[in-house]
């Protein structure tokens, strides 16, 4: 058995940038501008309600990540609560479907933004950036931390500046002759847009799989998620309100890249250049987050025997899960190839968002149920972070997620695709666990899950020892 372990080297800003790096994505900005197009300025209140829901979810992930700081994230949280099949389903339904749908569409949006700016075919950008990010992530998590922090914080600042610029009106384009109503649709219909607003915060929990590589995870991860969600809502509010003053709501609702069109209407050529740049950065940070977080989820599951052992291979010097990284690239390429062969429009993007959101919210429900079960089953377990006002946040979060799932699957196309994805995942899980002689629903004792996490978590002494040790290439962790 090898002593090769993940490196604990990331601080708060790397954790924060991981949390917001996926949230400020191309699809999230499309959802933001489209939301203001269909809901008007009242979408600000819908987004605030979504923020309250996502903070409830973030509290659950914070407690779980501090209690079980493993790279398998929701998979490892679910093992001692509900057993192996629910653990496998939570990861694959929540995040493999997400990568396959959202990862590719984000690269499409970034590519289309560059194409509008330069005339270059969008797929050249998508393939080029994907290749560069793979090279960065193969080198190690320290490189990821430096790159991700710089890009994510720059992107946040740029989006906020554009929003303030538009609200002040200094140097901006002409205002609409008639400003839109605050709520152009009945208020009862506004709640139906909650599932669109929740997408603004998609993936805020992607910092949790870095628990084995973050310094002081019990403190750093909760702060990163909570501060990340609050700051992204503020930036979105500034930008969303500003564009509704310069472009009609109908134009926003119909556009494939409404955030770019809104910025162009607001600031002219500078707005087009700035927002295209933000879209490109968003595609980069989103893809970067997928490449760093999802392979580590698969790594954790593989260490627990829930996936083939090849997913827990680490490169001997970079200590990164190479096979998992290439697996994620394959998922992203499926959507890119399909989009290259077909016309990538707003219908494709919104459909992909809805499918990913459906299964992603199911994973959120499981995580919050985990908190309830573990509190009851292990009341005296060490919890460096405890959810305030427990169990109210969990109950509110579960109810809100179930409501949003029901609204999403009211679309038959979304229901059909999501059902196929869920069926395939369950079929794989049942067959693989049965074939390897594992129980489907028998929980793993908490002490055993913690022991496995601690065995692979790196101490400072391990770092010193590993720095003087050489290993052979492609050594497989057992």
Name the residue ranges covered by the structural domains of the chain: 12-460
Question: Angle, nearest 10°, between helix axes 122-139 and 322-341?
Answer: 180
Pick from 68-77, 246-255, 392-401, 459-468: least confident: 459-468
End-to-end C-alpha distance for the chain, whole angstroms:
5
Question: pLDDT tens digits, residue range 58-73?
Answer: 999 989 988 888 766 7
Radius of gyration of the chain (CA): 22
pLDDT score of 281 more than 80: no
Q: For 36-59, give the DSSP string.
A: HHHHGGGHHHHHHHHHHHHHHHHH
Residue with the bigger pLDDT between 346 and 239: it is: 239
What pLDDT, on a 0 to 100 scale, did the predictor assign at position 424? 92
Quick count: other Cβ atoms within 10 Å of Cβ 347? 11
Question: Given the structure tokens 């972070």, which residue do they identify?
Answer: 385
Question: How remote is the C-alpha of 475 from its chain's centroid?
Answer: 30
As to burial, measured by CB atoms within 10 angstroms (0-12 exposed, 13-18 middle, 19+ buried), residue 406 is exposed
What pLDDT, on a 0 to 100 scale, did the predictor assign at position 140? 59
Give domain 12-460's CATH number out of 3.20.20.70, 3.60.21.10, 3.40.30.10, 1.20.1740.10.
1.20.1740.10
Q: Are 365 and 89 in contact (CB under 8 A)?
A: no
Question: pLDDT tens digits, residue range 331-390?
Answer: 888 877 877 776 666 777 778 788 888 998 999 999 999 999 999 999 999 888 899 999
Question: How remote is the C-alpha of 12 from its chain's centroid?
Answer: 18
pLDDT score of 460 more than 60: no
Pick from 95-104, 138-147, 167-176: least confident: 138-147
What pLDDT, on a 0 to 100 scale, did the predictor assign at position 469? 36
User: What is the average pLDDT score of the chain?
Assistant: 80
Q: Which letter does DSSP use for residue 5 in this model?
A: -
Question: pLDDT tens digits, residue range 7-52?
Answer: 555 677 777 777 776 666 778 888 899 999 989 999 999 999 999 9
Question: Which residues make beta-bridge pairs with 476?
Answer: 313
Question: Which residues make beta-bridge pairs with 214?
Answer: 10
**Token output for 419:** 């059902």
Q: Are 148 and 290 in contact (CB under 8 A)?
A: no
What pLDDT, on a 0 to 100 scale, did the predictor assign at position 21? 60
């Amino acid at each position: 058995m090898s002593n090769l372990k993940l490196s604990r080297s990331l601080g708060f800003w790397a954790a924060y940038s991981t949390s917001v790096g996926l949230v400020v994505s191309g699809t999230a900005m499309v959802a933001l501008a489209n939301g203001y197009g269909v809901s008007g300025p009242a979408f600000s209140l819908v987004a605030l309600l979504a923020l309250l829901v996502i903070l409830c979810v973030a509290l659950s992930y914070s407690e779980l990540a501090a209690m079980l700081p493993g790279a398998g994230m929701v998979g490892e949280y679910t093992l001692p609560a509900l057993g192996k099949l629910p653990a496998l389903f939570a990861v694959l339904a929540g995040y493999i479907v997400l990568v396959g749908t959202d990862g590719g569409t984000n690269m499409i949006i970034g590519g289309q933004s560059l194409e509008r700016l330069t005339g270059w075919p969008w797929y050249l950008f998508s393939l080029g950036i994907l290749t560069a990010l793979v090279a960065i992530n193969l080198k190690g998590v320290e490189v990821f931390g430096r790159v991700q922090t710089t890009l994510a914080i720059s992107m946040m600042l740029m989006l906020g500046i554009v929003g303030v610029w538009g609200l002040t009106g200094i140097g901006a384009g002409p205002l609409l002759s008639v400003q839109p109503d605050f709520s152009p649709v009945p208020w009862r219909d506004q709640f139906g847009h909650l599932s669109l607003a929740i997408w603004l915060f998609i993936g805020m929990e992607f910092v949790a799989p870095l628990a084995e590589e973050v310094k002081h995870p019990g403190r750093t991860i909760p702060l990163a998620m909570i501060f990340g969600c609050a700051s992204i809502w503020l930036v979105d509010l500034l930008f969303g309100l500003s564009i509704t003053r310069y472009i009609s709501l109908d134009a926003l609702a119909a556009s494939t890249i409404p955030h770019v069109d809104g910025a162009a209407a607001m600031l002219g050529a500078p707005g087009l250049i700035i927002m295209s740049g933000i879209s490109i950065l968003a595609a980069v940070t989103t893809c970067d987050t997928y490449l760093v977080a999802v392979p580590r989820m698969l790594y954790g599951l593989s260490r627990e025997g829930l996936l083939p052992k090849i997913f827990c291979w680490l490169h001997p010097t970079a200590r990164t899960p190479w096979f998992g990284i290439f697996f994620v690239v394959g998922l992203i390429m499926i959507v890119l190839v399909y989009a290259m062969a077909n016309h990538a429009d707003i219908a494709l993007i919104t459909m992909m968002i809805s499918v990913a959101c459906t299964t992603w919210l199911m994973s959120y429900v499981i995580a919050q149920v985990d908190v309830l079960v573990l509190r009851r089953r292990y009341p005296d377990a060490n919890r460096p972070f405890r959810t305030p006002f427990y169990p109210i946040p969990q109950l509110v979060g579960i109810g809100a997620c179930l409501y949003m799932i029901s609204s999403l699957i009211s679309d038959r196309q979304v229901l059909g695709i999501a059902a196929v994805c869920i069926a395939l995942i369950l079929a794989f899980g049942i067959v693989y666990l049965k074939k390897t002689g594992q129980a489907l629903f028998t929980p793993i004792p908490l002490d055993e899950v913690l022991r496995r996490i601690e065995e692979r978590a790196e101490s400072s002494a391990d770092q010193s020892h590993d720095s003087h040790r050489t290993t052979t290439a492609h050594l497989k962790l057992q």
